[in-house]
A and B are shown apart, each in its own frame.
Chain A
């Protein structure tokens, strides 16, 4: 089946710096969902992107879906300690199989 590759695996930033994680696929993605998992917690849905070239914002978070629908990114502006956690992208394969990337672990140093 199709795989979603997520990079980087890990990033450690100074509080106030920006952060970006990327999700890439060799084939066209049907839609992309993004989730956040706090340390010791469970994944929580952030957003879903469906349309080619779509850009959505949630406060300091900006989500983009590539024009060819083969990649997506999550950008956090001016990170805060509350942003700490693992960010996952997920693709709905064949309309019924939610498959996750390996995740990017974000650590924020204050």
Chain B
């Protein structure tokens, strides 16, 4: 049972490039989340989804888009990367909204 898997684990982008981060969970969870973690800022919610085909904005959605076409996958897109998007990105999933969340291992993204 793999749990929550994030791809890739590391990436360096040039300013203006685009990329997609993939989050896959094999636990049949309804809820999925994307966070970014910066020093001293904790985990800030970018976007989340409460089920297949649904997405919603979190605290810091600007510059990111998401899609949840399949229940097990939650994709985070950066259309035109900026240095301010240099961060560690975590994906998480949970069965419902009031149960524990399971996190992936994180993706370290550097935008130069």
The interface of chain A, by Cβ under 8 A from chain B, is 1, 6, 9, 30-31, 33, 42-45, 48, 50, 88, 90, 92, 95-103
Contact = CB atoms under 8 A, between A and B. Distances in A.
B42 A45 contact: no
A7 to B, nearest CB: 12
B41 A102 contact: yes
A-B CB proximity, top 4 nearest: A102-B42, A45-B100, A100-B43, A42-B103
A45 B102 contact: yes
Contacts of A98: 31, 33, 45, 48, 92, 94, 97, 101
B31, B43, B94 — most chain A CB neighbours (10 Å): B43
7 contacts: A43-B92, A43-B101, A43-B103, A45-B101, A96-B48, A99-B59, A101-B42
A25 B105 CA distance: 29
Contacts of A44: 103
Contacts, number: 65
A100 B35 contact: yes
A94 B102 CA distance: 19
B98 interface: yes
A97 B103 contact: no
Nearest to B54: A96
A88 B103 contact: no
A102 B41 CA distance: 5
A76 B42 CA distance: 20
A22 to B, nearest CB: 14
A44 B97 CA distance: 16
B43 A42 contact: no
A92 B95 CA distance: 13
Contacts of A99: 45, 58-59
Given A1-B59, A42-B90, A100-B35, A6 B42 contact: yes
